[in-house]
Structure 1
């Protein structure tokens, strides 16, 4: 009897420890966003109060975000274009490359993967000056391609490595069975492998989109004009109502607005990702 009671206590303690750990992780992850939201709802005079809840909620900062002076609506559109084109291009190339590196057997395959990984290790600041000089010679300053091309080069290693690891777990017998039934290699990939790889593709798409959406270093140097600046650059360039005012409240409100599209995207695709991860190969 005492053994049964001890095992129950141990299970309860393990469950309680797990719940506490998850709660701490959630608080750690959501605390910055919560503080941005609270600060964005504070009035400019109460922004330096360290209250966990605003005494009087105000939408003044959110209204200032979309004022014509800040051009934040244009910045949102720029980020959507840059991140969308980057994600689409990186996923098309990444899926094809990962499939070829996983399915095809040829000399130097491991070396290619190592080179792809090595390419992602270069810090952005090390190539900033050469990129700026190159884009200036090409006349690309203040254009979308000056942000899209570097973002693709940063996103491709992430996409290829993530998808390669996922494609290795694919049941290749299903592809061979499809070929036996008369499907050509492209049909077998499109009808069999790609639907099974949907969880990895959706997850990688979200990661690439978030990375492109949050990129700041390259964009801050090649998008000087506000008409091409993404949200990360636009927030950094916010100005207050006077010359010596730092618009902390407006920047916090803009951070909340810039985070909302990412949250919506994850919520929209979470069911597809979970269903795909829990579905078996035969399904």
Structure 2
């Protein structure tokens, strides 16, 4: 009889992680860290705005407290602001100055950016550098001379006197953004339109501008926000509520009486002033993202 030798059962080893799983697991930690940092950055960014809303809902002695939330929330500060005729006038002035400046900046910048991006001009880089050099001048250095000139020619304390200098600083930014965007539009599209009999202007109007809508929308929002928030020129070139913009009007805010703390009404006015910008960004957020990323993508 032959003896049967029984071999010991081999334990099945655990399956080793595949090479595809290892990089995936390695990427999970950086992604989680990025997510945590993004959440922290968002919270840090929202804290000032939350504190602004928190303060705007407080009244009386509670304004001096450092509580994280109002115990007796009230809309009285907002009602006081909306019943202030000077604030409503300043709000209208800001809308007029912002809309006119943005429209003029986009109109002039579109032609200038098209020439710099698509026409054969000598030393285009130098021209663009000269345009951008305007933004290097500190506003405070020209505020006093402009105050003297505007006073002499009758533009002081007028909306036109605010639009002209704001347009001077808005144009370089608009030209730079649109130039980088126009460069990414394929030249073949424009050449096809010219071959079909279109004039250079009609090709610009019917081909280039429709394709540049995301960049134009992005530029419009950036210009409007910068004009809306500008303070130094607005406070230097105005002296009466008839021409003041919103940032200057808020700086001149006072309480209902001389014994009131104006921080509540200032906070409420600041929230009301921020709302149009928030709505603007929310409505055009897709255009903003498309415009900001289009110039960075090359086919």
Out of 54, 59, 67, the residue aligned to residue 75 of structure 2 is 59
Out of 229, 250, 255, the residue aligned to residue 265 of structure 2 is 250
Counterpart position of 1:81:
96
Out of 219, 222, 225, the residue aligned to residue 207 of structure 1 is 222
Residues 117-136 of structure 1, C-alpha deviations (whole Å, 9 max, x = no match):
11111001000111000100
1:165 partnered with 2:180: yes
Counterparts of 1:17-166 in structure 2, within 5 Å, are 17-68=33-84, 71-166=86-181
The residue matched to 1:55 in structure 2 has which SS? coil
Counterpart position of 1:217:
232
Q: Which moved more, 1:48-57 or 1:93-102?
A: 48-57
- CA distance in structure 1 between the partners assigned to 2:252 and 2:95 by the alignment: 19
RMSD: 2.0
Gaps of 5+ in 1: none
Counterpart position of 1:178:
193
Taking a change above 3 Å as real, the CA distance of residues 160 and 187 of structure 1, as seen in their structure-2 partners, is same
- CA distance in structure 2 between the partners assigned to 1:14 and 1:84 by the alignment: 44
- CA distance in structure 1 between the partners assigned to 2:283 and 2:182 by the alignment: 24
Q: CA deviation at 1:161?
A: 0.8
- CA distance in structure 1 between the partners assigned to 2:119 and 2:290 by the alignment: 29
TM-score normalized by the length of structure 2:
0.87
Gaps of 5+ in 2: 1-15
Q: CA deviation at 1:57?
A: 0.9
Q: CA deviation at 1:51?
A: 2.2
Q: CA deviation at 1:5?
A: 5.2
Residues 37-88 of structure 1, C-alpha deviations (whole Å, 9 max, x = no match):
11101123212222222222111111111233x6211111000000111000
The residue matched to 2:104 in structure 1 has which SS? helix
- Equivalenced residues, count: 279
Q: CA deviation at 1:242?
A: 3.5
- CA distance in structure 1 between the partners assigned to 2:130 and 2:106 by the alignment: 19
Q: CA deviation at 1:204?
A: 0.7
Q: CA deviation at 1:24?
A: 2.0
TM-score normalized by the length of structure 1:
0.92
Taking a change above 3 Å as real, the CA distance of residues 51 and 63 of structure 1, as seen in their structure-2 partners, is same
- CA distance in structure 2 between the partners assigned to 1:61 and 1:231 by the alignment: 16
Q: CA deviation at 1:34?
A: 1.5
The residue matched to 1:91 in structure 2 has which SS? helix
Q: CA deviation at 1:4?
A: 5.4
Q: Over alpha carbons, which structure has the higher Rg?
A: 2
The residue matched to 1:120 in structure 2 has which SS? helix
